């Protein structure tokens, strides 16, 4: 017994070291599966406030670029309005406007150079946000909400190893999946496109709308490189992402009103 105690005493620092490392590993491997650690993410009140103060100051330096994006977005929406206005009243089957609500939010913290990237936005539970909602910018898909506090939310960026976006080719409606490879923040790859599908450089990839996170036809990117290798069952496709992750200031959170219904229906049908 004495020997055992002496042994423990001799290696006490190593034991403390090992214990702390085990706690770290446990945190690393469980952080993406458990929502209860939300207070240990950047959406907690302290981190959120620090980021929003520093963003208030640095925000002034991006005003010109931000205005330009907003002007472009305005022009695009105006065009859309003109092209829609003749049949807005007659097309009673259009339910898009009722199905989704877009909640604007400001990005107070953004990372795009890590291997797993996150954003912090200045809207939280108080504004009706919930984990799992999709986030888009004026340019395209941004990510998905990870955790919410009262006033802030942490968002998984599309540049995260856990995020896969259900997508489709705009011209042929072929379903596929977009996933980030972990290195370049302007590119992603497109998975599960069989070799017989014709695809060429410059094709547009949009969200498929099949999983209730994003509405249909939100821009994801443009095909940049196609490698049709005979020995593989799928094509290797590189995508130029539409969203400029190095410069994000305003985003929209998508609240899908029919999501709960869709999810419960799908889980009911998989249980059968």
Partner 1 sequence: MAQTNLLSTAFSFIAYIILQVVFLKNVALFDIAFCFVYISFILLLPIDINRFTLLVTSFFVGLTIDVFYDSLGIHAAACVLIAYLRTYIINLLQPSGGYDMNAHPTIQELGFQWFVTYSFLLIFIHHLCFFILEASNFELIIHSLSRALASSLFTLSAFIILQFLLYFKRKRAL
67 half-sphere exposure, CB direction, 13 A CA radius:
5
26 binds partner 1 (CB under 8 A): yes
> Minimal distance in Å, beta carbon 63 to partner 1?
18
For partner 1, the closer CB: 31 or 177? 31
C-alpha Rg value of the chain to the nearest Å: 23
25 binds partner 1 (CB under 8 A): yes
Cα–chain-centroid distance for residue 33?
16
Q: What is the pattern of x (binds partner 1, CB under 8 A) and - over residues 169-208?
A: -------------xx-------------------------
The Cα 106–Cα 62 span in angstroms is: 13
> Minimal distance in Å, beta carbon 9 to partner 1?
12
113 binds partner 1 (CB under 8 A): yes
175: which strand partners?
168
The Cα 233–Cα 175 span in angstroms is: 16
SS3 62: helix
> Minimal distance in Å, beta carbon 64 to partner 1?
19
Neighbours of 151 (CB within 10 A): 16
158 binds partner 1 (CB under 8 A): no
Nearest Cα to Cα of residue 132 among 155, 159, 165: 155
21 binds partner 1 (CB under 8 A): yes
Which residues of this chain interact with partner 1, rule CB under 8 A?
Answer: 12-14, 16-17, 20-21, 23-28, 31, 37, 40-42, 44, 46-47, 50-51, 54, 109-116, 118, 120, 154, 161, 182-183
């Amino acid at each position: 017994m004495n020997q055992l105690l002496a042994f423990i005493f001799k290696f006490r620092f190593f034991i403390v070291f090992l214990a702390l490392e085990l706690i770290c590993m446990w945190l690393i491997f469980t952080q993406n599966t458990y929502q209860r650690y939300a207070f240990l993410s950047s959406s907690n009140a302290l981190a959120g406030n620090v980021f929003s103060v520093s963003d208030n100051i640095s925000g002034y330096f991006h005003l010109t670029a931000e205005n330009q994006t907003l002007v472009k977005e305005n022009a695009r929406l105006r065009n859309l309005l003109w092209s829609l206005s003749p049949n807005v009243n007659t097309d009673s089957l259009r339910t898009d406007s009722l199905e989704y609500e877009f909640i604007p939010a400001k990005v107070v913290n953004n990372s795009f150079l890590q291997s797993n990237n996150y954003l912090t936005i200045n809207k939280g539970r108080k504004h009706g946000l919930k984990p799992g909602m999709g986030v888009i910018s004026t340019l395209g898909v941004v990510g998905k909400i990870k955790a919410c506090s009262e006033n802030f939310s942490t968002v998984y960026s599309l540049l995260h190893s856990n995020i896969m976006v259900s997508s489709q080719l705009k011209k042929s409606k072929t379903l596929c999946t977009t996933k980030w490879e972990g290195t370049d923040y302007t590119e992603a790859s497109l998975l599960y496109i069989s070799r017989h599908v014709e695809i060429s450089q410059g094709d547009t990839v949009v969200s498929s709308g099949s999983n209730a996170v994003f509405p249909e036809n939100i821009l994801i990117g443009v095909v940049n490189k196609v490698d049709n290798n005979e020995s593989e069952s799928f094509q290797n496709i590189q995508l130029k992402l539409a969203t400029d992750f190095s410069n994000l200031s305003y985003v929209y959170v998508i609240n899908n009103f029919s999501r709960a219904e869709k999810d419960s229906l799908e889980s009911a049908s998989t249980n059968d």
